[in-house]
């Protein structure tokens, strides 16, 4: 099994990710880092386990999944973007539909914040924006919107500036959201027997990995 090109690029970052739980694990830290990198970058859990086995580290899929959960990776905070784009899409977790909210800096294509909600309501949208403002310096940023009235209303209530954009920076953002959607669809089977909190933790870890690959 040969890692895909962008996976090889990621695994060159030997210091990533930081794993704060390694002292409680029997697996060498380098093997755990490789497993997390491979799974988040492109490989399925099964293929990740196969790569580790070829290196003499025999572990099951649930073990690699648990490494990602324990790592609790989060996108880097305190970013200060000039523009911000918020969007949401529906994904399936345990055969139920959930709303995936994500924020992108269109100048860097980096994911800034990711959350998973069981539904889409004004209250949850407000909570999501509040969390975003706590994590990043976005009060002076311009929010790029695609016409969603509930988001525009939320920006008004938070006194955030927004601009209706259908191309340019918005196209860049849509490509990021498309890749996020592709990855969640490609690995939908790993959400089949997990709870929404575990799925959200994986999605946040994926956001960190995605930012490393940009």
Q: If you search the block for the tokens 């069981």, which residue do you land on?
A: 118
Beta bridge partners of 162: 143
Q: Distance (Å, rounded) from C-alpha 67 to C-alpha 175?
A: 29
Which residues are CB-neighbours of 213 under 8 A, at least 6 positions away? 6, 9, 10, 41
pLDDT of 190: 64
Q: Is the pLDDT of residue 2 over 90?
A: no
Q: Which of 39-43, 136-140, 199-203 has the highest mean pLDDT?
A: 136-140
Taking residues 2-9, what's their average pLDDT?
Answer: 50
Q: What is the mean pLDDT of the chain?
A: 86
Number of CB atoms found within 10 A of residue 147's CB: 9
pLDDT-based confidence at residue 188 (cuts at 50, 70, 90):
low
pTM: 0.85
- pLDDT tens-digit series, residues 15-70: 678 887 776 678 888 999 999 999 988 788 889 999 999 999 999 998 999 999 99
Q: Distance (Å, rounded) from C-alpha 77 to C-alpha 69?
A: 19
pLDDT-based confidence at residue 180 (cuts at 50, 70, 90):
confident
Q: What is the DSSP string of 179-212?
A: HHHHHHHHTGGGGTTS-HHHHHHHHHHHHHHHHH
Angle at 213 between CA 212 and CA 214, to 5 degrees: 95
Q: Distance (Å, rounded) from C-alpha 111 to C-alpha 104?
A: 5
- Write out the H or E segment, with its range, that includes residue 87: strand 83-93
179 Rama sector, left if φ>0, alpha if ψ -120 to 50, beta otherwise: alpha
User: 147-154, long-range: CB within 8 Å, 24+ apart, which pairs?
Assistant: 150/120, 150/122, 150/125, 151/86, 151/125, 153/122, 154/122, 154/125, 154/126, 154/129
Collapsed DSSP state (helix, strand, coil) of residue 115 = strand
pLDDT-based confidence at residue 6 (cuts at 50, 70, 90):
low
Taking residues 179-204, what's their average pLDDT?
Answer: 81
Taking residues 93-122, what's their average pLDDT?
Answer: 92
Q: Distance (Å, rounded) from C-alpha 142 to C-alpha 128?
A: 17
pLDDT of 166: 72
């Amino acid at each position: 099994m040969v890692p895909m090109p962008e996976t090889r690029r990621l695994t060159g970052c030997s210091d990533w990710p930081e794993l704060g739980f390694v002292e409680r694990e029997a697996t060498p830290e380098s093997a755990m880092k490789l497993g997390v990198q491979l799974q988040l970058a492109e490989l399925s859990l099964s293929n990740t386990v196969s790569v580790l086995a070829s290196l003499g580290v025999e572990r099951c899929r649930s073990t690699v999944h648990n490494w990602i959960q324990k790592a609790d990776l989060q996108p880097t905070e305190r970013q200060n973007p000039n523009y911000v784009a918020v969007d949401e899409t529906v994904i399936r977790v345990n055969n139920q539909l959930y709303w995936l909210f994500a924020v992108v800096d269109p100048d860097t294509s980096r994911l800034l914040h990711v959350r998973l909600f069981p539904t889409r309501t004004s209250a949850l949208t407000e909570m999501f924006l509040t969390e975003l403002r706590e994590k990043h310096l976005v009060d002076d940023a311009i929010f790029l919107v695609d016409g969603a009235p509930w988001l525009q209303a939320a920006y008004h209530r938070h006194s955030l500036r927004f601009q209706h954009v259908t191309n340019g920076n918005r196209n860049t953002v849509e490509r990021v959201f498309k890749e996020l959607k592709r990855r969640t669809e490609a690995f939908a089977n790993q959400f089949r027997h997990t709870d929404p909190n575990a799925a959200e933790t994986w999605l946040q870890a994926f956001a960190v990995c995605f930012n490393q690959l940009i």
